[in-house]
Structure 1
């Protein structure tokens, strides 16, 4: 993927990250947490232009859970309320056992996609997410067994190296799909030059997705569109629409990036087109 892909007008896949596993309704009352709320948010995001929804699960009290049963409830609601949107489960997180990290892969039917964190990172002042090579390999193995497309989450340059290591250890179905993540802490520093370097370092033939946390969401997804990639927005990554103004929904953030893509000459991919692009 490159500027040439932008010039060719290839469709852009918009992923809506609906909930996340960190902040809750204390941060914004608009964050969907229950299965019904997440199903409604998925339907609204799809109507606004999202072809993929990135899903985390919450307990009734708002705490994060990896339980297969809760993901099943959410998927059932998404399929009931949305049309044809692609479901992508998160397997990432802090404070969970390796076995727990596999649980989101075991719904029936399996999700079409799932995230795969490519290496360790500091999450908060006192917590890390290890993501050992052994865990990465075992998650990838189960994804392959269940026909799930991995979305490789590349949080920094070291994770890019780990991506090449995974390609050496295991066979990945083409195209490789990696999300380039920019923001504070362990994430890639949010500077335009780092974005260009990350694209240049991707494996040959890879498709890329762009994610900017917080105030970096809008500029980085715009760059993603301009450089022929795909984009992710949503309340997991950014709860604000403008400085000091909370976004009212995931759909509001999707609508804006869909409008930007249209103004820049990129068609917004339908779920069917996204399946073709990613070879689902």
Structure 2
């Protein structure tokens, strides 16, 4: 059940590296589009803004620090939201690629996938007959034979290199074993509470979007870490987004929305912006009598180093 007095952190993942431009004309691709949608999402109530970068010309995912620099400082200047930079990038990027901007920026928060895995949306390709850009078809179909790599050594390096700069992590857990991977690094002394656990449901290669899986993740995290030592959050992919994040709040957790996770706002209806998804989940939470965490409250809940300690 919900923890008394618990305030819900809303995270918003603005663009990601999984959806391609053909899937939605509203997916932000250019630095200006990412900047504007991120600022609007923060003003709509997102305390955390999760960011990837894309090539301005065609929307291809990129790890380029030069592209990140075209929108991250502007978001930080216009909002008080926590800036969360991906270390996941895409399956096409090396670890060096993925760490290029995070190590330069040393933000308050970075995402960290807690294991190697199959990660794919390749079945979607069969439902698309016309592609907006030439790279997209091979990118989506090619996921069938791609692995997202984060070995124990990779994770250790990220924890040491970024953790040494005071960055904390959104631990993305796509399967039950990822919680045990997290516990391994806790036992190694590389991670200290409070942990921010982002449970991911509905991605092919990870856990299915069954409510029972969420209960399993929540109770397993309780056994491994103790409920007072972590913040639980949920990401529901695609059509599963709103119902699963609502269940997370009811279980005492937090929520993540955004066009990285789903390009829809309702069945068959494309979301016109990230802010629209934030506004919808905020309305649902308010109707259920939940209070929404401000960026300052999110920083306190996650023990972040604070905006003053970051130069973006």
TM-score, scaled relative to structure 2 = 0.85
Instruction: Report what 1:246 is aligned to.
Output: 270
User: What is the deviation of 1:10?
Assistant: 1.1
Aligned length, in residue pairs: 274
Listed as ranges, the gaps of 5+ residues in structure 1 are: none
Match of 2:286 among 242, 262, 265: 262
Match of 1:152 among 171, 185, 199: 171
CA contact (8 A) 2:118 2:206 kept: no
User: What is the deviation of 1:259?
Assistant: 0.8
CA contact (8 A) 1:15 1:53 kept: yes
CA contact (8 A) 1:155 1:180 kept: yes
CA contact (8 A) 2:2 2:249 kept: no
- Computing the radius of gyration over CA atoms, which structure comes out larger, 1 or 2? 2
Does 2:220 correspond to 1:201?
yes
User: What is the deviation of 1:190?
Assistant: 1.2
Does 2:189 correspond to 1:170?
yes
Match of 1:233 among 253, 257, 265: 257
CA RMSD after TM alignment: 1.3
User: What is the deviation of 1:4?
Assistant: 4.0
Match of 1:190 among 202, 209, 218: 209
Instruction: Report what 2:126 is aligned to.
Output: none
- Structure 2 CA distance for aligned equivalents of residues 133 and 251 of structure 1: 36
Does 2:102 correspond to 1:105?
yes
Instruction: Report what 2:17 is aligned to.
Output: 21
Match of 2:76 among 46, 71, 79: 79
Instruction: Report what 1:67 is aligned to.
Output: 64
- Structure 2 CA distance for aligned equivalents of residues 171 and 91 of structure 1: 17
Q: Which 4+ stretches in 1 moved above 6 angstroms?
A: none
Mapping for residues 101-140 of structure 1, pairs under 5 Å: 101-108=98-105, 110-123=106-119, 124-140=143-159
Does 2:32 correspond to 1:32?
no
Instruction: Report what 1:42 is aligned to.
Output: 38
User: What is the deviation of 1:171?
Assistant: 2.8
CA contact (8 A) 1:36 1:77 kept: no
- Structure 1 CA distance for aligned equivalents of residues 86 and 299 of structure 2: 18
- Structure 1 CA distance for aligned equivalents of residues 76 and 230 of structure 2: 29
List per-residue Cα deviations over 1:139-194 (Å, max 9, x = no partner): 11112111111111000012122111121223313201110110042221111111
